[in-house]
Amino acid sequence: MRKLYYVILAIGLGISSDAFSQTRSINSAEFALESGTPDDIIIAKEEIDKAAVNPKTANMPRMFLIRAKVYRSIFDKRGNPLIAPISHQAGFIASQSILNFFENPLKKKADELEEAKFEVGNVFAATFNESQNISDLTNGASEGKKALYYDTLVSYYQNLLSMYGKLDTSMINNLKGQKVERDFFVDRIAFFALNNSDKVKRIQILDGLMKTEMPSAILVESYSKELLLNKDTAGAKRVIKEALVKSNNNNDIFNVLVNYYIAIDREADLMIEIDEQIKNAPTARNYWIRGYLNEKARRMDEATIDYRKSRELDEFYHDANWNLGVALIKHESKKLMDAKAKASGEAKAKIDKELMALWKEARGYLEYASENPKYSKDELIEISKGIKTCCMELSDKACETEQRDKIRTLTAGVTLAIGDKFSYRLIGDAKKMDVSYQNKQGTVSTISDVNCDWTKDFDVIDKTDMLSLSVRINGGGSATMQILVNGEVVSEKEISSSGYLQF
């Protein structure tokens, strides 16, 4: 009945049968799409694919709009066994079609424009979700195959970026709530472009983004890295400097310039840049960078001043706390020690007080730095060593022991192999201890009334990294509990008086 309606309408309006035949496939696809059943969606695809290759309909705006709706529906129904075989890159085809509709110079009807404004949100969601599926394929893929996936992902994110500007306000606000904004797509295009298979295309894509988008740190870093790989150091610097101007001296982009100068071993030139950047943007990060450069140049007085200024601007800046703490320990303390060696009487006593205050100050900075969850294990070990030094100077035995144990815990990380020998050992003067430990079968055993100088040895008969030992002292005294692997202490803690400890 619906097809008959189209014919009657065409005749009633005086439209030629030839004109109607040109749009028949488009109309048939739209009609079939309305039911939403898998069989009809397949028919809709067949009809719209005909229209897409027919010279008389291939460039019609409405063809692109209906094609976008058909392929978006295919993506939505991709889990159906009938639809699955025709669903490959359906979201991407839908995105290309909706963009072709908007970019088509031919006149569009008002109702088509309204329909397209609504449909672009559906197509955007389908394309984004499909891109995530392709991104998942890169995990574990060979380098060659991964590069080809990145080629595909560049195209996906280019379409997503183009569609982003056509979304309605409610959808844009919804995406902002998920921290997905325009720069999200720019950054991903830059990342995927840098790792794709075509070296020439990389430059073209990155250069195009630099010209059309507000530069982000990731984009600028990707572009400058590619130019440096091509030994174009002047080009890399030009890209970064232009991005700084365009972004009004964005601090993250300035960090890319820092890395550039370090990469080409021109840190003297970087000092000129950082002085200028501090004038424009006196941030904690910029003062920290200058402090780091001064420290590398062994200008420790200037470095310490910069680290202090950095922390003044942002007391929660972990890097400033760490570097300032180390500067006090290694540099400022030495100056006080040298002065103390030449002093006597009240002057010497005054310097002793200043030293105690310095160790406390340095420990406070390092303790705050140690709370940074982004620091690596090795970095946390170095910070704990600094805190331990302060504790020793302050004669704080509890603090010193705590940091020693923390360092041993961080450095342990032992994975046992079959044939290794490991031991639990208790040394000290404690009596009547309850000891629980993991045995060679991986189960926990408990024994009571254990005295010190107790050792339990095992051969590893199955690969494991699950060592455990816990001790409770019931009869006074103290003990040191140790785990040894192949005769070497890999972890150690102390327990004293009536107490309980495990690791």
**24 and 138 in a common domain:** yes
Confidence of residue 434 (pLDDT cuts 50, 70, 90): confident
**139 and 39 in a common domain:** yes
Domain boundary among 154, 174, 197: 197
Confidence of residue 402 (pLDDT cuts 50, 70, 90): confident
**40 and 149 in a common domain:** yes
Looking at the DSSP bridge assignments, the partners of residue 500 are 472
Domain boundary among 197, 212, 238: 197
Q: Considering the domain boundaries, does residue 261 fall inside one?
A: no
**439 and 351 in a common domain:** no
* Nearest CA among 219, 197, 221 for reference residue 210: 219
Rounded to an integer, what distance in angstroms lies between the CA atom of residue 187 and that of residue 422?
49
Looking at the DSSP bridge assignments, the partners of residue 422 are 458, 485
**426 and 378 in a common domain:** no
Q: Considering the domain boundaries, does residue 281 fall inside one?
A: no
* Nearest CA among 292, 291, 293, 213 for reference residue 253: 213
> Pick the residue with more confidence: 394 or 487?
394
Encode pLDDT of 359-398 as tens digits: 999 999 999 999 988 888 888 889 999 999 999 999 998 8
Q: Considering the domain boundaries, does residue 182 fall inside one?
A: yes
**187 and 151 in a common domain:** yes
Range of the domain at 175: 2-197
Q: What is the pLDDT of residue 309?
A: 96
Q: Considering the domain boundaries, does residue 11 fall inside one?
A: yes
**83 and 31 in a common domain:** yes
Do the strands 500-502 and 469-473 form a parallel or antiparallel pair, or are they unpaired?
A: antiparallel
**Residue linked to tokens 């306000």:** 169
Encode pLDDT of 163-174 as tens digits: 998 998 888 998
- pTM for the model: 0.56
Kindly tell me if the per-residue pLDDT of 497 is higher than 70.
Answer: no
**333 and 446 in a common domain:** no
* Nearest CA among 332, 404, 324 for reference residue 369: 324
Cβ-in-10-Å burial (0-12, 13-18, 19+) of 475 comes to exposed
* Nearest CA among 477, 482, 479, 481 for reference residue 414: 482
Encode pLDDT of 82-102 as tens digits: 999 999 999 999 999 999 999
Number of Cβ within 10 Å of residue 202's Cβ equals 23
* Nearest CA among 258, 370, 365, 288 for reference residue 321: 365
Q: Considering the domain boundaries, does residue 190 fall inside one?
A: yes
8 Å CB contact between 460 and 415? no
Q: Considering the domain boundaries, does residue 359 fall inside one?
A: yes
Provide DSSP, 391-427: HHHTT-HHHHHHHHHHHHHHH----B-TT-EEEEEEE
Output DSSP code: residue 84.
G
CATH at residue 441: 2.60.40.2880
Encode pLDDT of 154-198 as tens digits: 999 999 999 998 998 888 998 888 888 888 898 888 888 877 788
Kindly tell me if the per-residue pLDDT of 323 is higher than 90.
Answer: yes
- Report the half-sphere exposure of 309 (CA within 13 A, side-chain side): 17
Kindly tell me if the per-residue pLDDT of 109 is higher than 60.
Answer: yes
